[in-house]
C-alpha cells in the first residue's frame, strides 16, 4: 500500500533529526585550527638594551633549538630588557590575524631567578602605529607567567592578554587603545618584564602553537538551527497552503495564533529581562545579582572568583549639592562605564544605592586589581557634566574566593577591604589582606 504524503514527510523528519543529532555529536571530530609558531620559518632574533647603549647581553646558546641566554649586569641603566622576537608577516606592517585563535600552547624551559616571564604580541594599527618605527609604536599585548606555572605545556588564553601600562601611558588611554588587538600581529616573543633580577637567565622554547577552531561550537549549532528553521518554514508553508485550500478561515486563525504567540514570547522575554535589570544604571539589579550568586553557590565555583565592591565617594554630597536628579545621572554614567570595561564573562550590577558589585570568574588578585584600577581611573579622570561640571571618585574593595567558600565569606572580605579604602582617603583600590598574594 503506497505511503501517504504525511507518512513520507514524517519519515524525512526522522531522517533529518537523526542527521542533526549526528552533526551535533560530530563537532568534536572537526580538526582544530593550529598555527605552529616555534619551530618557525619566520625570522627569529634576540634583542636587549645593549643595542641602545645598555649593558644586558643576549646570545644564542643553540639557535636551532631556540635556546638563548640573557645576562643582566649589576650596573645602572635607564631600562633593562632582553628577549626573543619572532616576526610575523613582513614584521613591519602586514602581519598575521590571531583573532580566530583561542589559546597559545607554550612549552618553555627556563633557568634563572626571575619570578615572572612574559609572552607578548605586537599589533600594528594604522591609527596609532608608524611603519618607520613599528617596533615601538605597535600595540604591546602581553601575558605574565609566574615561574611556578612552567610545568610541561602551558595554556595561555588569548583573552588573558592585556595592553602593557607603559604602552598606554605613551600613546594615550583612549577606550580603543585600552583594548588588546590580535587582527594584525607583526611580532611576538618571550622576554622578562621590568625589574628582572641581575644574573644569567636561560630560555629554551620547546614548542609554541596557536590553537583555535575552524568553526566554533556556537556557529556549528547555529548552522544546524538555521537548517531546522528553514525546514520548519518549508513544512509550515506547505501546511499553510494545504490548509488555505481547504479552509481559508483556518489559515487566517493559524496566522493570528502564531503572531500572538510570538508577541507573547517577545513580551515574556522582555519582562523577564527587565525584572533583572536596574533601570537607572542598566546593570543587574539586586534580584539579577542574587540569581548569579545562587548559581555560583550552587556550583561551588567561588574558588578563584573575584568579588569587587565599588562605592561612589561622598555621594550624599552630590545629592545635597546638585540634587537627586544629578545623583541619578552620575549613577547612570558609572553604570555605563562599568558595562563597557568588564570582560564578557564578568557580571556587574547595582548592589544598592551608590554601591556596585562585580563578579569576575577565573581572576587573580592582580587581574581583579587591574580591572578595578582601570575603572577607578576612568571615573576619576571623567568630568561629569550635568547642570554643573564636577568630578567623582570611587573606592573599591576586592576579595578572591577560596575553596569551599560561599558568597557571604567572599563578600565579607571585599566589604572589609572597601571599608579600608574609605578609611585610606577614598579614590583607591584595596585588596583584602588574606587575598593579596593569590596568583
3-state DSSP assignment of residue 85: strand
Yes or no: say if 104 and 210 are a contact pair by the CB < 8 Å rule. Answer: yes
Yes or no: say if 82 and 102 are a contact pair by the CB < 8 Å rule. Answer: no
3-state DSSP assignment of residue 268: helix
Q: Phi/psi of residue 301, each to 5°?
A: -115, 30
Q: Return d(Cα 411, Cα 397) in angstroms, integer.
A: 10
Q: Return d(Cα 96, Cα 173) in angstroms, integer.
A: 25
Per-residue pLDDT 10s for the chain (439 aa) are: 566 666 666 676 767 777 767 666 666 667 778 889 888 766 899 999 888 888 899 999 999 999 999 999 988 777 888 999 999 988 888 999 998 899 999 999 999 999 999 999 999 988 888 878 777 889 999 999 999 998 889 999 998 899 988 888 887 767 778 889 999 999 999 998 878 899 999 999 999 999 988 776 777 778 778 877 787 787 777 778 777 887 766 657 767 767 675 775 655 555 555 578 999 999 999 999 999 999 999 988 899 999 999 999 999 998 888 888 888 999 999 999 999 999 999 999 999 899 999 999 999 999 999 999 999 999 999 888 766 678 899 999 999 999 889 999 999 999 999 999 999 999 999 999 888 776 5
**Residue 38, beta-bridge partner list:** 208
DSSP letters spanning 184-224:
SEEEEEEE--TTPPSEEEEEEEEEEEEEEESS-HHHHHHHH
Yes or no: say if 129 and 138 are a contact pair by the CB < 8 Å rule. Answer: yes
The single-letter DSSP state of residue 104 is E
List C-alpha distances in Å: 182 to 192, 240, 249, 278. 21, 49, 57, 34
- Domains of the chain, CATH where assigned: 5-27+216-274 (no CATH), 34-213 (2.60.120.430), 286-435 (3.30.70.270)
Amino acid at each position: 500500500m503506497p505511503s501517504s504524503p504525511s507518512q513520507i514527510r514524517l519519515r524525512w523528519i526522522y531522517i533529518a533529526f537523526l542527521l542533526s543529532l549526528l552533526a551535533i555529536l560530530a563537532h568534536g571530530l572537526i580538526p582544530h585550527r593550529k598555527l605552529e609558531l616555534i619551530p618557525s620559518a619566520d625570522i627569529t632574533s634576540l634583542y636587549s638594551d645593549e643595542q641602545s647603549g645598555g649593558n644586558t647581553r643576549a646570545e644564542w646558546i643553540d639557535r636551532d633549538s631556540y635556546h638563548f641566554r640573557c645576562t643582566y649586569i649589576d650596573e645602572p641603566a635607564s631600562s633593562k630588557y632582553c628577549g626573543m622576537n619572532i616576526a610575523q608577516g613582513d614584521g613591519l606592517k602586514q602581519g598575521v590575524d590571531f583573532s580566530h585563535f583561542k589559546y597559545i600552547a607554550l612549552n618553555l624551559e627556563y633557568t634563572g631567578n626571575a619570578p615572572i616571564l612574559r609572552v607578548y604580541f605586537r599589533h600594528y594599527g594604522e591609527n596609532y602605529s608608524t611603519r618607520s618605527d613599528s617596533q615601538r609604536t605597535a600595540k604591546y599585548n602581553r601575558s605574565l607567567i609566574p615561574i611556578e606555572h612552567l610545568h610541561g605545556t602551558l595554556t595561555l588564553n588569548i583573552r588573558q592578554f592585556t595592553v602593557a601600562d607603559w604602552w598606554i601611558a605613551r600613546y594615550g588611554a583612549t577606550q580603543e587603545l585600552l583594548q588588546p588587538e590580535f587582527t594584525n600581529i607583526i611580532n611576538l616573543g618571550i622576554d622578562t618584564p621590568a625589574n628582572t633580577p641581575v644574573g644569567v637567565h636561560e630560555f629554551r622554547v620547546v614548542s609554541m602553537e596557536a590553537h583555535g577552531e575552524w568553526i566554533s561550537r556556537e556557529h556549528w549549532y547555529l548552522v544546524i538551527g538555521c537548517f531546522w528553521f528553514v525546514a520548519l518554514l518549508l513544512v509550515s508553508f506547505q501546511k499553510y497552503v494545504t490548509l488555505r485550500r481547504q479552509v481559508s478561515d483556518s489559515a487566517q486563525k493559524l496566522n493570528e495564533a502564531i503572531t500572538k504567540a510570538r508577541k507573547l514570547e517577545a513580551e515574556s522575554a522582555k519582562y523577564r529581562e527587565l525584572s533583572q535589570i536596574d533601570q537607572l544604571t542598566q546593570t543587574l539589579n539586586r534580584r539579577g545579582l542574587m540569581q548569579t550568586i545562587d548559581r555560583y553557590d550552587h556550583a561551588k565555583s567561588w574558588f578563584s572568583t573575584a568579588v569587587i565592591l565599588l562605592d561612589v565617594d561622598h555621594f550624599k554630597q552630590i545629592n545635597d549639592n546638585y540634587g537627586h536628579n544629578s545623583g541619578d545621572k552620575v549613577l547612570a554614567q558609572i553604570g555605563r562605564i562599568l558595562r563597557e570595561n568588564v570582560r564578557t564573562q564578568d557580571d556587574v550590577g547595582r548592589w544598592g544605592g551608590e554601591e556596585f558589585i562585580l563578579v569576575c570568574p577565573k581572576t587573580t588578585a592582580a587581574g581583579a586589581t587591574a580591572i578595578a584600577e582601570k575603572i577607578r581611573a576612568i571615573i576619576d579622570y571623567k568630568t561629569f557634566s550635568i547642570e554643573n561640571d564636577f568630578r567623582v571618585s570611587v573606592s573599591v574593595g576586592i576579595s578572591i574566593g577560596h575553596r569551599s567558600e560561599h558568597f557571604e565569606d567572599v563578600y565579607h572580605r571585599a566589604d572589609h577591604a572597601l571599608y579600608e579604602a574609605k578609611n585610606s582617603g577614598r579614590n583607591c583600590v584595596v585588596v583584602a589582606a588574606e587575598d593579596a598574594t593569590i596568583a
